[in-house]
Each structure stands twice: as structure tokens, then as C-alpha cells.
Structure 1
């Protein structure tokens, strides 16, 4: 009975893990297998990525070396899934003149100047911010717990932002899209699953006031992104969801630094 109840959740989590990471896991994709929508487990996938990529923290290395290796491991685990979305979005949204051209540019596998600039600044900013965060946290057992919680909440909260866009905008694309199969409007139970790790881990990484402020800032940024995307392409696609996740990572690290200060 217990397996029947938890089975759909486990199936949804496995499908999400295979979709959003490069972790080799055998999954039966048959439609007759009951499963919860995989997309609502995206924040949980953030925990997996964060914990695995936190391995440099166990070595007595400089904060800058730890930070760059943590970022590199996270990119390898996800296959640059979100970073690719950021680059395509910047090329299309900035370089295109109308909706159709912007969507067409996003499907182009070639990298333009806006894509190159965006990924360079994104990774550089995250490396500098994460290095600073690791530097100011004292070296102790409690410091390690805080660092792990902070790194987890970065990946959890950043992955909630695309879910918010997904639930408030229409999906738009040109032709077939690999992301279309994972697009879904979240129900209340789905939102409960998605937000649970944010609230639990958030209280370890932030105090309650800082957590509330960070969530409010994240909502404000999503509102601005929503307005921008409605103007540019009248909705969202897979690339813009990846871009919002990258923006979210930077945002949460900044909030963690402000909170700790």
C-alpha cells in the first residue's frame, strides 16, 4: 500500500532527474505508469545538483578554487542545460526584431555575441559572489552546515523561478520543441511538492525575515521577467526558463551575502 502511494512521486522524481541532469538512471517512460508531473520536482533536482557539486568544500582549498570547481561540477551534472537557455535567450530576445525572428534565433545552434557576453558575465559574477560567500563563512562544523544549506537553497530557489513563469505565461515556440513534453501548469499539490524544499532548507540558510525578503525579491524579479517576455515573445519557451534559472542563482547568492553581512 505504501509503495502504491509513494510510487507516482518516485516515478515523477526519476523522470525529472533524468530530464534535468546527466545522471544515468534507467526510467520506464510508458504512459501507463502512474507518476506525478516531473516538472514539480525541479527544485528537488536542485538539491541533488547542489549536494554533489559541493564536494570541493571537503578539501582545504582556497575559496576561489572551491567556488570554480563547484560551478564546474554543477554545469557538468546538468549538461549546461540552463546556461544554454540563457545564451539562446540573450541572442534571440536582444538580437531579434520581432517575435518570429526572436524564436527562430533561439532555435539556432550557433552562438552570437549576446550569448557569449551573457555566459561570460553570468559565470564570472557567480564565481566572484560564491567565492566571497565562502570567504566570509567561518571554517567550522556549523559553517559547513550553513554553506551546504546556502548552496542548496541557491539551486532550489533558482529552479522555482521558471516554475512561476511557466504557471503565469503561455508556452510559445516555432515547430517541434524538446521542452514541450515537460511543460505543465502546476496544481496546488504540485506547488506544495515544489515549495517544500525551499521552505525547509531556506530556514537553515536564512533567518525567517531574510527568507521572506528573498522570496519577495524573487517574485518581483519574476514579475519583471514576465512583463519583458510578454513584450518580446508573448510568452515563454524552454530557453527563457533556463535563463530565469540562471538569473535566480545570481539573485539568491546576492541575498545570501546580504543576509550574512
Structure 2
């Protein structure tokens, strides 16, 4: 009974995270009086679930390019293109605008500009090519299947850890009311550990220790580079830039796995 009471806030937070960041149909009571863990700290765990559900092509004897295509497509369908939409809006605003307020205003525009179209094409193409190459390198064995599945889970979990770090390195900025503001929350040390747990777990399963340390180090450099870029462009972050950072993180981590496995 005690353990159930302790886990109840985590379960409520996880359900809220699932409903927020995916299209998985769940009934959630959004009442403020229900005790719940902040939903953002479960974002990496949601990534694990997305990875597991989108890994079904690995069980089929298809060409690696077709497997990679349907893995990416399934992930997009599960999330509803949540992060991809952020990438497109962010690229339109950050590249197309000339001052912070103008860039934020462009991001709120629902229309797709040329920078958004270019960004999503290159993002999906790069991920498809890298993932196809990764699957081609993997030998046909059950152990190799476990490694690839673990790597796919790591990519989706740690890619979603990027926005959490940026949330704590930058100030939130927006023009007017924003639905993203309600999703943001400062995390305590135990909640940081909860969010990082799946990244470490699947990272250990997917890499040797030295490669994993290199991935964490280079990821840190990338995150600080993104942080510097966003501070220069809009003096902070918003929901669109967080989604963009997740997409950049995914592509970068697929590249890291490919380098490690090759």
C-alpha cells in the first residue's frame, strides 16, 4: 500500500507526459489537486516507449532502408510530429527573423516557410540515411538485435534529455500566452536522476563504457553550442526551440551510434 502511494505521483506524471508528448489515447485527470510528478521529467521515458513501439520493422526481413523508413515514420505518427513541428517553426523564426521579437513572432505563425521546409527535409533525410547505414552494419544475430534496439531506445531517451538541460540553462521567452509555459518545471536532483536513468540504462546496453563517455562529452558540447545560439538569437528558449533541440539531438546520437558501431 505504501509503495503504491509513493508511485502514484510518478504514474500521474508519466500519464500526463504521454498525453502531452504523444498521440497515445489516455484519460487523464488534469485537476491541480491531484499530486503528480512534473511531466517533463518523464520525457526520456516517453522516448523509450516511442522507440520500442517504432522498432517493429526490426522483426521483419526487409531491406535496411525500408526498416529505417518505417521506424522513423512510426515514431512521427506516435508523437504526432510534435518535435518535428518545433524544428520547422524554430528554423523559420531563428533564420528568417532579424531581431528577437520578430523571430518569436514568426515562430507563432502556423504557415510553413522555406527554412522550415528545408530543415524538415534535411533532418528526416539525414536520420534515414544514418539509420539505414547503422542497420546495414549490424550483423544478423539476436545479440546484434538487442544492441540495435538498445541504441534506438538510447537515441530517443537521450535526445529528449537535451530540452530538459536547455530549460535550465536559459530563460523562457515568448510573445503573449503560450501553451508550452504550462509544461515547464524546474527539476530537483531526484527528478534529474529519474529523467537521466533511461539514458544511462540504455546507453550502457548500447555502448562500451569509453564510447558512452565520449557520447556524453560531445553531447554536452553540442548542448552548450545550442544554448549559445539560442541566447544570441532570442535571449532564451521557447517550446519550438526545445523541439528543435530534440531533433538535432536525435540526428547527432544516430551519428554517434553509427561511428561507434563502425
TM-score with structure 1 setting the length: 0.99
* Within-5 A mapping of 1:1-261: 1-261=2-262
Distance (whole Å) between structure 2 residues aligned to residue 147 and residue 230 of structure 1: 36
Alpha-carbon separation, structure 2, partners of 1:208 and 1:112 = 42
- Whole-angstrom CA distance in 1 between matches of 2:181 and 2:77: 23
TM-superposition CA deviations, 1:139-168 (whole Å, max 9, x none):
111011011101101101100101000011
Aligned partners of 1:226, 1:163: CA distance in 2, in Å?
Answer: 12
Q: CA deviation at 1:176?
A: 1.2
Quote the Cα distance in structure 1 between the aligned partners of 2:225 and 2:257: 21
Distance 2:256 2:3 in 1: 40
SS state of the match for residue 150, structure 2?
helix
Deviation at 1:96, TM superposition (A): 0.2
Structure-2 separation of matches of 1:241 and 1:186: 16
SS at match of 1:184: coil
- Secondary structure of the residue aligned to 2:32 is coil
**Superposed displacement of residue 189, structure 1:** 1.1
Q: What's the CA shift string for 1:91-111, capped at 9, x where partnerless?
A: 000000101100000000000
Measure, in 2, the Cα distance between the counterparts of 1:258 and 1:70: 20
The total of aligned residue pairs comes to 261
SS in 2 for 1:110: coil
Separation in structure 1 between the aligned mates of residue 259 and residue 58 of structure 2, nearest angstrom = 21
Q: Secondary structure at the match of 2:186?
A: coil
- Residues of 2 paired with 1:58 and 1:139: CA distance? 11
CA distance in 1, matches of 2:14, 2:102: 35
Structure 1, gaps ≥5 residues long: none
Q: CA deviation at 1:116?
A: 0.3
Secondary structure class of the residue paired with 2:160:
helix
Alignment partners' CA distance in 2, 1:60 and 1:201: 25
Runs of 4+ that moved beyond 2 A: none
Shift of 1:206: 0.7
Spell out, residue by residue over 1:224-250, the C-alpha distance to the aligned partner (whole angstroms, 9 max, x if none): 111111111000000000000000001
**1:235 & 1:77 partners in 2: Cα distance?**
29
Once residues 117 and 195 of structure 1 are traced to their aligned partners in structure 2, the CA distance between those partners, rounded to angstroms, is 32
State the shift of 1:67 in Å: 0.2
Structure 1 residue 209 displacement after superposition: 0.7
Q: Distance in 1 between matches of 2:217 and 2:186?
A: 21
Structure 2 unaligned segments of length 5 or more: list them.
none
